[in-house]
Amino acid sequence: MKFAKITAIEYELPSHSLSNEDLAREFPEWDVPKIFGKTGINDRRITAENECASDLGFRACEKIFDSGVVDRSDIDCLILCTQSPDYVLPSTACILQHRLGLPTACAAFDYNQGCSGFIYGLGMAKGLIETGQVKNVLLVTAETYSKYIHPGDKSVRTLFGDAAAATLIRATDDTVAIDRFRYGTDGSGAESLIVPVGGARFPALLNANLETRQDDSGNIRTDANLYMNGPAILEFSLKRVPELFESLFDDNFTLDMVDHFVFHQANKFMLDALKRRLNLPEEKFVREFEHCGNTVSSTIPIALKESLEKGNIKTGDIVACVGFGVGLSWAACTIRF
């Protein structure tokens, strides 16, 4: 039997930067130390007007091919996680397959998952490989939330950045390398993190003259913009993530066997609260979002790539990954590098 193994990770950030200094000039009531103190973020990368998820995903994938770790002709499955597709249809994965020059025998499909999406993608890649359907999966996470954010909404503008990551998962004869998948969903919280207008239920063209509203905190948005109920998302995370995390462990796999913990890199406040709740040691708790912000489905692969490059994650290390957020959705797994 073949097993699924991560053999390469690359990521791509847009060239345009939105710094805390930029935000402080727009929102004088929020100075630079206050923004960093709340978010732990110094910089976010923002796509250009004509730059989309597929553009970032393309450049991340090309880094994989340029490294020589795999030939594009060997890719037989492309999985793309995005909530900001280039078009309503066709799937952005189909566009990316053609642009990358992948074989026409390659499967290619999108899925819309968000903050837990990387782990869901790993689960699908593992299933496809270990049932013998494919051998080489290119998992792409690509998000441009900035296109949904009203410039006057500092509640989300301070948090989110655009990015894409490409992860190569290959069939190997080695022992199990990606394992212990856990999932969860609570759609009753869907309205806590949502873009209300733009889908089939409320088409954008039928809502062209949307009312612009300002909330009690001074944040401005329309129903075509991203809305996040911060307190509700925090409450959800502090309830569900500990339950999810604890379900990873049993008599055969204990907490002390984990070398690193990589949680969805939401923001400093959220990660601090979860680390305290779970009593995790800081030296094992990975934080790699200061330079790019919350990049949704790409936060975990970016954090893994940064930690690998810095030598913090080494061959043989076991990493526990936890994703949670929009949906509401959550997922966890372990990775042995």
User: Which residue is catalytic, options 77, 81, 115, 292?
Assistant: 115
In degrees rounded to 5, what are phi and psi of residue 35?
Answer: -60, -45
What is the distance between the alpha carbons of residues 31 and 130, in angstroms, rounded to a whole number?
Answer: 51
Write down the H helix ranges in 182-312: 230-246, 268-278, 299-309
98 tagged catalytic:
no
Looking at residue 120, the DSSP 8-state letter turns out to be H
Sign of the Cα torsion 142, 148, 150, 155 reads negative
Q: State the first-to-last Cα distance of the chain, in angstroms, to the nearest integer.
A: 19
User: Which residue is catalytic, options 52, 81, 260, 264?
Assistant: 264
Write down the H helix ranges in the chain: 20-26, 32-39, 53-66, 92-100, 117-130, 154-157, 230-246, 268-278, 299-309
User: Which residue is catalytic, options 61, 294, 321, 333?
Assistant: 294
106 tagged catalytic:
no
Task: Tell me the CB-side half-sphere exposure of residue 82, using CA atoms within 13 A.
Answer: 33
Q: Please, are residues 176 and 3 in contact by the beta-carbon 8 Å criterion?
A: yes
A 10 A CB-CB count for 29 gives 8
What is the distance between the alpha carbons of residues 307 and 159, in angstroms, rounded to a whole number?
Answer: 21
Q: Token pair for residue 10?
A: 């690359």
81 tagged catalytic:
no
In three-state secondary structure terms, 250 is strand
Catalytic residues: 115, 264, 294
